[in-house]
Chain A
Amino acid sequence: MKTYMPSKFIVERDSARCIQCQVCVNQCSFDVNYYDAADGEVRSREQNCVACHRCVVFCPTDALTIKNNPLDYRENYNWRPEIIEDIIKQAETGGVLLTGMGNDKGQRIYWDHLLLNASQVTNPSIDPLREPMELVTYLGRKPDKVELERGTLKLKTKLAPQVKLEVPVMFAAMSYGAVSLNVHESLARAATASGTLWNTGEGGLHTNLYKYGNNTIVQVASGRFGVHSEYLNAGRIVEIKIGQGAKPGIGGHLPGEKVSAEVALTRMIPRGTDALSPFPHHDIYSIEDLVQLIYALKEATNYTKPISVKIAAVHNSAAIASGMVRAGADIIALDGIRGSTGAAPKVIRDNVGIPIELALAAVDTRLRQEGIRNQASVIISGGIRNSGDVAKAIALGADAVYIGTAALMALGCTCCQQCHTGKCAWGICTSDLALTKRINPEIGARRLTNLLRGWSIEIKDILGGMGINALESLRGNRLALRGVGLTDTELEILGVKMAGS
């Protein structure tokens, strides 16, 4: 069938600069650039281009430019180009439209409507270059109060397991298979170097990476891929994945093309088979079933590790979160509508779930109203872009955040949304050995460590500017935030006042 899909991008090659070296040919994994031997010239099949910029960055003479194809349709607000093209694709394939990365639609990004406070005159700001500034965060269940042995200063209270973070930013769950082993190793090494944690995602943990266990969150999802006793005990935290912001309500998708020998071994599934985790956990059909899984995992790890439960942010997250805390979750992870994925049905990604800012505000408020906020730490993810977003998330009530997309961008990702194809030219979201070696774990770890270092310094600047020297004084401190351009209802849900008031 002839495709009616037009090219999305134009590859411009400056012939005055091009030296026909074919680097672009070798770098492109989407089969765009090719060498025409007859003409002795490098050419492009533009219809394949995804604008990942791999060729642009690696062209030694800067000869390449990628441009949007200015393919103007007759203007129509309803039938926009993306919608027309989605219909064309489905008419030609008859399938579910798959996509990668997070929701790219224009739902309001609340971070951009929240502004932080600073000290002026009545309280001094504190200079982090000259004074201590503390970002240390402990994740885990906290009791209502501390008790001492009568008449002494000896502790009577014994705390549930606590996990220390030097910086309140962790790497989000990205499974082995969705991303490559080199990406996992980069994340693990960076987390170890930065005093934070990374998350295995639902695909198990490669045996080479067990040595980073102290900085690892091991995930248990509905597919139970790679879950066994040694795996559970290798991590610092065990996370039950109920849902994911990019695809609330549905299971994981790993196309068989990405299930290489090593991936198959780690996941404990046959090589080349699709790894589709079921929509629900088939042992969790209600909240009392969640209690059982939480305690099964606590038993399996001898009560030495906090148990986290991750859900997608949906309409009644606050009530669900309250139930999760009462079910014994030590950590609640909320993933918002902009949360990313290696592969998801486009219609789910773009239409299901709610923004993380609103979910976080609602959950934190509800847990406080019920007097159980201290019983679980709250981690959020789904579109955290920079240290400003982190500070705002903490002020809204998060204990820490997960970053996924931002971490991959540190490794080279340009958000071309082709993760589901397994062809990632940057070698991130693929198991093609020719591509995965493009990530060098040592350099990858350095890039990620640099990112976290930069963000921590910025968060310290933000704290110092507010005149506080410990992150816990910002946590849940919504007076540190003001809203701009928001309705009364939005402000009320966020628990934030309008700027100027």
Chain B
Amino acid sequence: MKDITRINNPYGEDKAIESCSIFGMMDTTGKRFSGEGIIKAIANMHVRGNGLGGGFAAYGLYPEYADFYAFHIMYMSPEGKTDTECFLKQKFEVVNAEELPTRPTITIVNPPLVRRYFLKVKKQECREQSEDDFVVNRVMDINTSIRDTFVFSSGKNMGVFKGVGYPEEIGGYFCLENYEGYLWTAHGRFPTNTPGWWGGAHPFNILDWTVVHNGEISSYGINRRYLEQFGYKCTLQTDTEVITYAVDLLVRKHSLPIEIMAKVFAPPFWDDIERRSQEDRELITVLRQVYGSLLMNGPFTIIIAHQGEMIGLTDRIRLRPLTAGVKGSMLYLSSEEASIRLICHDLDETWIPMGGEPIIGSLGKPLKSKETTLAGKVA
């Protein structure tokens, strides 16, 4: 039987409640650009955070190591590092290991050590499991059973940089202007009931999936209990963790497309479903019947990203802000429009998506404009 009370958040066993700023930008042609722009954009929403957490995710980060799992791991004690490295050597072939370059920053106090590893799964270790499942399980092992250690990110050709501080300070600390990626997301945090700790900052990650999130999932209790049935251990007590695992379950394990995932998280109302075409009605009814426990209820805006794709989504009655902007092949998603305009003066268009309507940017696919998405909603 599963121990359903295990937690890994050292600052209390309560669910973390927070409010935040979020920003995402993606070049759908796959052209890489530095982290300078996104730091500027997220800094513009300084007042939406309180300095207790900031972070970034970037994709297309390590093209030279694209075939290896890139682990960013935080250590709060030397023992954690020793134990973890020993564990990694057992389970993986460590291709490269180094400390993340940092720049001393006056406001970043007592930073933990953060190291990155490029890992190859040992075939004899993962046996029947897929490599991805193997990696997920090993991340769970590290997070739940090795002290003072937390895996920031574990995907290929991507990485998460996060910590306690305002996001612009974290961006500076990790020298993000020196990295290039085709997709960046960022987060400024305003936790209200936990002191910030480095592991609790966003983005949250498993494999190459990251989530940045603004809001509070009021249905957290049942979302979590549902995921626990599938073997996920929600050790951080944060909504974001739950969303990340839910994405992993629906998209990776149950092979459902992103649009369907959005309909699970933020489904149309029954009254609305009644008015749809028969095929649509049957599909959404079945989704609500089967995945009702994954309805993310309460205010949220999330930006979910994985290799080649960025998705923005709000709750079904849009209790948290999200603005989308398009300029050529660039897609911007932000809590506030001003931040987009700060780094892109001449946007082709901006709009506020409908509640529960996903805005999706995919590599190599043209961006949908506002008109078509709105028309889709009305139909």
Contact = CB atoms under 8 A, between A and B. Distances in A.
A476 B114 CA distance: 38
Interface in B269-291: 269-271, 279, 282-283, 286-291
B192 A142 contact: no
A157 B292 contact: no
Interface string B293-315: 10101110000000000000000
B218 A467 contact: yes
A153 B283 contact: yes
A400 to B, nearest CB: 13
B317 A157 contact: no
Contacts of A472: 222, 288, 292-293, 295
B43 to A, nearest CB: 24
A501 B230 CA distance: 27
A197 interface: no
A155 B282 contact: yes
B290 A143 contact: yes
B262 to A, nearest CB: 12
Contacts of B349: none
A470 B295 contact: yes
A292 interface: no
A476 B4 CA distance: 14
A131 B297 CA distance: 14
B254 A466 contact: no
B279 A466 contact: no
Interface residues of B, number: 50
B219 A477 contact: yes
B269 A476 contact: no
A148 to B, nearest CB: 7
Contacts of A495: 4
Interface stretch (A198-206, A330-338, A367-375): A367-375
Given A146-B287, A148-B260, A159-B286, A469 B317 contact: yes
Contacts of A155: 282-283, 286
A131 B215 contact: no
A227 interface: no
Majority SS at the chain A contact face: loop
A155 B279 CA distance: 9
Nearest to A124: B319
A383 to B, nearest CB: 24
A399 to B, nearest CB: 10
A476 B219 CA distance: 10
A316 to B, nearest CB: 16
B290 A374 contact: yes
B221 A476 contact: yes
A399 B76 CA distance: 44
A146 B228 CA distance: 18
Contacts of A501: 13-14
A55 interface: no
Interface in A122-169: 122-124, 126, 131-132, 134, 136, 138, 142-143, 145-148, 153-155, 157, 159, 162
Interface string A89-125: 0000000000000000000000000000001011110
Interface in B318-343: 319
A119 to B, nearest CB: 7
Given A122-B19, A162-B289, A145 B254 contact: yes
A388 B210 CA distance: 39
Given A146-B286, A368-B229, A477 B222 contact: yes
B323 to A, nearest CB: 20
A146 B254 CA distance: 7
A365 to B, nearest CB: 8
B282 A134 contact: no
A162 B220 CA distance: 26
B376 interface: no
B87 to A, nearest CB: 28
B256 interface: yes
Contacts of B46: none
Contact of B221 (A132, A374, A469, A477): A477
Given A154-B279, A467-B299, A473 B219 contact: yes
A371 B249 CA distance: 14
B239 to A, nearest CB: 10
A127 to B, nearest CB: 11
Interface string B188-223: 000010000000000000000000000110111110
A241 interface: no
Interface string A468-483: 1110111111111000
Contacts of B13: 501
A474 B110 CA distance: 40
Contacts of A154: 279, 283
A479 B269 contact: no
B354 interface: no
B109 interface: no
A136 B299 CA distance: 21
Candidate in A124, A126, A371, A477 with the most chain B CB atoms within 10 angstroms: A477
Contacts of B271: 132
Given A146-B286, A472-B295, A369 B2 contact: yes
B36 to A, nearest CB: 32
A157 B290 CA distance: 10
30 contacts: A123-B319, A124-B299, A131-B317, A132-B269, A132-B317, A138-B289, A142-B290, A146-B256, A146-B286, A153-B259, A153-B283, A154-B279, A155-B282, A159-B290, A365-B4, A368-B228, A368-B229, A466-B218, A467-B298, A467-B299, A469-B317, A472-B222, A473-B297, A474-B222, A477-B219, A477-B220, A477-B225, A478-B221, A479-B220, A495-B4
Interface of B: 1-2, 4, 13-15, 17-19, 192, 215-216, 218-222, 225-226, 228-230, 253-257, 259-260, 269-271, 279, 282-283, 286-293, 295, 297-299, 316-317, 319
Q: Which 5 A-B pairs rank lowest in CB-CB distance, beginning with the nearest?
A: A479-B221, A472-B292, A473-B219, A473-B297, A477-B221
Given A122-B17, A368-B225, A473-B218, 5 more contacts: A122-B18, A468-B218, A469-B316, A479-B220, A501-B14
Interface of A: 119, 121-124, 126, 131-132, 134, 136, 138, 142-143, 145-148, 153-155, 157, 159, 162, 365, 368-369, 371, 373-374, 466-470, 472-480, 495, 501
